[in-house]
Amino acid sequence: MENLFSALNVQISNWSVLYTKLHRYHWFVKGPLFFTLHEKFEELYNEAAGVVDEAAERLLAIGGKPVATMKEYLSIATIEETNGETNANDMVASLINDYKLLKTELKELADLADQHDNDTINDLAVELLVKVDTHIWMLSAYLGE
């Protein structure tokens, strides 16, 4: 069960780091698509906040203890903090990489949940996979990929 606890804490950490990164992008994006990206980044950071809360509650429900400090998030997260991206395309490219990493780790979480016969966490992981796939597609389309 510890490996399931650990995998959920990685998700909590990653989505917390992503939340902060998205907030930064929301504040600092510039250029001709400012209004579009400013709004999109806000939508994405609100989603990230919800994911953190839901994952933490799922972890508590199965007897685990969610990480809950920035220090813990940064020590556990596999997503990197911002690298000081200053233009919209770099911000979007960074997010695509983050979502691709999340996709890989969510598949692992779904498998772990299956191994522990935990349908609720499996459902959470699969639901997030659908969202992450959509984000990868849309953000890639923005870059013309």
Question: Tens digits of per-residue pLDDT, 81-91?
Answer: 988 888 999 99
Query: CATH number for the domain including 72?
Result: 1.20.1260.10
Residue 80 DSSP one-character state:
P
Interval 113-144: pLDDT, tens:
999 999 999 999 999 999 999 999 999 999 99
Number of structural domains (the chain) is 1
pLDDT-derived band at 47, boundaries 50, 70, 90: very high
145 band by pLDDT with thresholds 50, 70 and 90: confident
Buried-state track 68-80, b at ≥16 Cβ within 10 A, e below 16:
eeeeebbebbebe
Instruction: Decide if 77 contacts 10 (C-beta within 8 A).
Output: yes
- Rounded distance between C-alpha atoms, residue 116 and residue 130, angstroms: 22
Please report the sign of the dihedral spanned by the C-alpha atoms of residue 75, residue 78, residue 81, residue 83: positive
Q: What does the alpha-carbon distance between residue 57 and residue 66 come to, in Å, rounded to a whole number?
A: 8
Q: What is the pLDDT of residue 86?
A: 87
- Average pLDDT (60-67) is 96
Residue-number span of the structural domain to which 33 is assigned:
2-142
Q: Enter the pTM of the model.
A: 0.95
The CA distance from 29 to 37, in Å, is 7
